[in-house]
Structure 1
Amino acid sequence: MEIEAEVEQSKFKRICVFCGSSQGKKTSYQDAAIQLGKELLTGVTVGEVKAVADMHQRKAEMAKHSDAFIALPGGYGTLEELLEVIAWAQLGIHDKPVGLLNVDGYYNSLLSFIDKAVEEGFISPSARHIIVSAPTAVELVKKLEEYVPSHQGVASKLSWEMEQLDYPEEYDISS
C-alpha cells in the first residue's frame, strides 16, 4: 500500500510511503506506522485516485509526484518498490531522498547487504548514501529534511514519463 502524504512546515510537499499490505506480527511496526502518519499528516485530505495502465506506470507516477520516499517494514512488494527508487537515484533519474523506517532493526540485514556490496565494489561509496535510515519517524523525517545527494548520477534529466520512451512494439530486451 502506498500513501502520498501532504506535509506542512517541510521542504516536502508529498512523500511516497511504501509499506506492506499486512500489518506484520509486531505491534511496534503498527505503532511506527501510526507515528509516521502523525509526523506527516496535517488533517488535510491526502492522495488522489488516478487510473494507470500497469504497475510500472503506477510506480513512475508516484515517484514523479513525490518529493521523497519512505519504506516501512514490508515484504517483497515494498522491497521491490524501494530498490527501484534507489536504482533510479543511482542512475541520476532523481535526487530525492530515500528513507528506511528501520523499526526494531527490521532493515539491518538489508543495510548490511548494501554495505557488503560497497565493500566488494558493486555499489559505489557515494551511492551508499542514497539511503537514509532511522529507527523512529521523527528521526527519519529530520534526516530526510537534511539530505543532500552525494552520489554521481549517470543519466541526468531522464523523464518519469512513459510516453517519452517510445519503444517499438517488438522491442527485444535480450539484445
Structure 2
Amino acid sequence: MVLPTLLSAPTPTSGEIKSVCVFCGAGDGGDPIYAQEAFELGKMLASNNIRMVYGGGSIGLMGAVAKGTIENGGKTLGIVPEPLFKHGSAQLGETVIVPDMHTRKKRMAEESDAFVVLPGGFGTMEEMLEMITWSQLNIHSKPILLLNTKGYYKLFVDWIQLSVQEQFIKTKNADIFVTCDTTKDVLNLLQTYQAPETRYGLDWTKKDEENRQSLI
C-alpha cells in the first residue's frame, strides 16, 4: 500500500460536505436492488447539491450511481487510470485521466469530503480498506459509510468485530466506518459522523522517528 503525501484534514461539518467519493462495483450484482439503490444514492446526492466522485465508467453500479446523479441535475467527476480508459469503457460526466491506480485513489481522496461504499468486489474492498487505514493513521478524518444493501457487508462487519475481540483492532477504531441499510440514512450519517479519538495521532508533517514514538 502506498501512503499519500496528504496532511491530516479535519472532519468536514455538515455544511462543508460538497463532494462525496463513491466506491462500488463495475458489475450489477445478482439482484436488481443493488443498481436501484445505487441510482437512488446518485439521485440523493444530486438533490442535495453534492458532487459525486467515482472511478468513472458507465456500467454496473458505477454507471447506476453516475446516471442517478446526472439524470437528476447533479455533477460527477470520474477519475480513470489511463490503461482502463484505453480499454474502451464509455465515460459519464466530467472525466480526469490519471497514470495509475495509486494516483487515482489519491486524487479521489483529495477531491472528496466523505466516502460512501456500495457493494462491489476486490477493487471496491481494496479502496474502502485503504481509506479506513488512512483514517486510522490520521491522514484524514472524513466520514466513511458502507451502504449495506441486502446485508452485503454483514460478514465484513462480523470480521471487524472478531478483529476487535482478538485485539488486532482497537475497540473504538471499529467506528472509523459506519453502516446504513438504505440510501435514506446516508445524508444524516454524513452530517453526524465523528471520527473516533482512538485513531493514531500521527502528524504527517513530522519526521519518521516522531511518528514511530506516537505509535508506542
TM-score for the superposition, normalised by structure 2: 0.66
**Partner residue in 2 for 1:45:** 75
Equivalent of 1:78 in 116, 124, 131: 124
C-alpha distance 41-157 of structure 1, shift in aligned 2 (>3 A):
farther
Offset at residue 35 of structure 1 (A)? 1.1
**Partner residue in 1 for 2:140:** 94
| Structural mapping, 1:55-70, within 5 Å | 55-70=101-116
Equivalent of 2:21 in 13, 16, 20: 16
Equivalent of 2:164 in 118, 123, 148: 118
Contact 2:45/2:74 (<8 A) preserved: no
| Structural mapping, 1:156-167, within 5 Å | 156-158=202-204
Offset at residue 49 of structure 1 (A)? 2.5
**Partner residue in 2 for 1:34:** 39
- CA distance in 1 between partners of 2:159 and 2:135 (Å): 18
Could you list the structure 1 runs, at least 4 aligned residues long, displaced by more than 4 angstroms after superposition: none
TM-score for the superposition, normalised by structure 1: 0.80
Offset at residue 133 of structure 1 (A)? 0.4
Percent identity, aligned pairs only, is 40
When the two chains are superposed, the root-mean-square deviation of aligned CA atoms in Å is 1.7
* Structure with the bigger percentage of helix: 2
Instruction: Give structure 2 stretches of 5+ with no counterpart.
Output: 1-13, 48-72, 78-93, 206-216
1:39 partner amino acid: M
Secondary structure at 1:51's aligned position in 2? strand
1:65 partner amino acid: E
**Partner residue in 2 for 1:167:** none
